[in-house]
Chain A
Amino acid sequence: MAEPTKICPYSLPDLKNTSDDAVAAYLKTKSFAQSHTLTDVRLSISTAACLIAGATFYLDYTQGFEKTKTFTLYACIAYFTLNTALTIWLYFFESSTIYVGKHKTAPVSLTISSKVTKHDPTYRLKILQTQVVDGKNIVRNRDVEGPFMDWIDDKGFFVKKPFESWLGASVPWILENEDVPKELDSSVVTASGRKVQEEMTGVEVGSGKGSVRRKGKKV
Chain B
Amino acid sequence: MDACYQLRDVSFRYAQPWVLEGCSLDVSDGEILGVVGANGSGKTSLLKLMAGLLRPQKGRVCLHGSDVATLPPLEMARLVALVPQESQVLFPFTVGELVLMGRFVHQRGWGWESGEDLRIARHAMRIMEVDHLATRTFQALSGGERHRTVIARALAQHTPILLLDEPTAFLDLKHQIDIYGVLKELNRERHVTVVVVSHDLNLASQYCDRLLLLHEGRPYRTGPPKDVLTVEHLRVTYGCDVLIDAHPMTGTPRITLPRAEARPHLIPQ
A is bound by B: no
A: residues with CB less than 8 A from B are none
Binding site for A on B (CB under 8 A): none
